[in-house]
Amino acid sequence: MAVQPNGERVVVDPDDGPRIAINLPVGPAASTTTLMPGVTSAKASEDLSYVPVVKSSGSVQIASVISSPSAPTDIVYELDVPSGTSLVQDDRGAVVLVDDQGAPFGSFEAPWAVDAGGERVSTRFEVRGTALVQVVEHRTADVQYPVVADPEYSWSIFNWAWLNYNSAYSSNQLSVSISAMGRFDLATNAGQFLVSGWNILNRDFNYYTSGRWHSTLYQQWECHVLGGMAEWGTYDLELNRPSNPNWRSRIGMSPLSATCNW
């Protein structure tokens, strides 16, 4: 995977997905400043600058720094994407990139913006052709500048996955946050999502997924994906759940605690 930020654009070229470019609205005369190795700030004006950062998860975050009310409220990112690509906005405000065959290959999570006092500033995405527009309502009396707004591009079906301890169940668990791309894939091709997601977990947590917890973890994964169990922000797969090969017969039972291998 290669990510190439410079003064005008961020090029994302994953090993397992289409190449795209995110054009920063700065113009060819933009000035740039190296903040640290690999991190460059592009200045569009005295009121607006951009800092693209490659995160440890592999996603690309573009922090837009708004310094005064004179900065625009609409920040327009023109995208260079493969022919036939559609930008689809979901009900959470995220935007998914979908190819001409209807398959997702990347997404921008629902945006956020905060001011210098740590207060949230109203923001949203709008789709205009192949342009992603972040609208930041920063011209209100209570806003403290600078305001930082954040489009973040990812090309994985997960935002993250990690092993942690759940004190409520006295158990270690694998917790998985599904990305906007993942939610689109799940809604349109659950079988593919089931396989792709498990392959990621098996790659990154093989000690657990191929060990003595394999059966229960895979059953819980299947239950979340195919059984339509509630997401509640993450899929949590607890290691101390008993194996239940016949979990499918319990889908739809009430209460929820009676389903799958709960």
Say yes or no to pLDDT of 234 above 70: yes
Peptide linkage before 255 cis (omega within 30 of 0): yes
pLDDT at residue 1, as a whole number: 41
Query: Three-class SS string for 60-99?
Result: EEEEEEECCCCCCCEEEEEEECCCCCEEEECCCCCEEEEC
Tell me the pLDDT tens digit for each residue of 244-258.
888 878 777 766 666
Angstrom distance (rounded) from CA 106 to CA 159: 11
Whose structure tokens read 């319990």? 250
Q: Are 93 and 111 in contact (CB under 8 A)?
A: yes
259, pLDDT greater than 80: no
- Please, what is the angle between helix 180-188 and helix 190-204, to 10°? 130
Average pLDDT over residues 140-160: 94
Counting beta carbons within 10 angstroms of the beta carbon of residue 45, is it exposed (0 to 12), middle (13 to 18) or buried (19 or more)? middle
Tell me the pLDDT band of 224, cut-offs 50, 70 and 90: confident
Q: Which CA distances in Å does 1 have to 89, 111, 179?
A: 26, 24, 19
Decide which of 42 and 78 is more confident. 78
Distance CA 67, CA 43 (A): 11
Is the pLDDT at 6 greater than 70? The verdict is no
17 — pLDDT class (breaks 50, 70, 90): confident
Tens of pLDDT along 171-222?
A: 999 999 999 999 999 999 999 999 999 999 999 999 999 989 999 999 999 9
pLDDT above 90: percentage of residues in the chain: 63
Q: What is the mean pLDDT of residues 232-247?
A: 86
Residue 117 has pLDDT above 50, yes or no: yes
Between 260 and 159, the higher pLDDT residue: 159
What rounded mean pLDDT belongs to the chain? Answer: 88
Domain boundaries, the chain: 2-154, 158-258
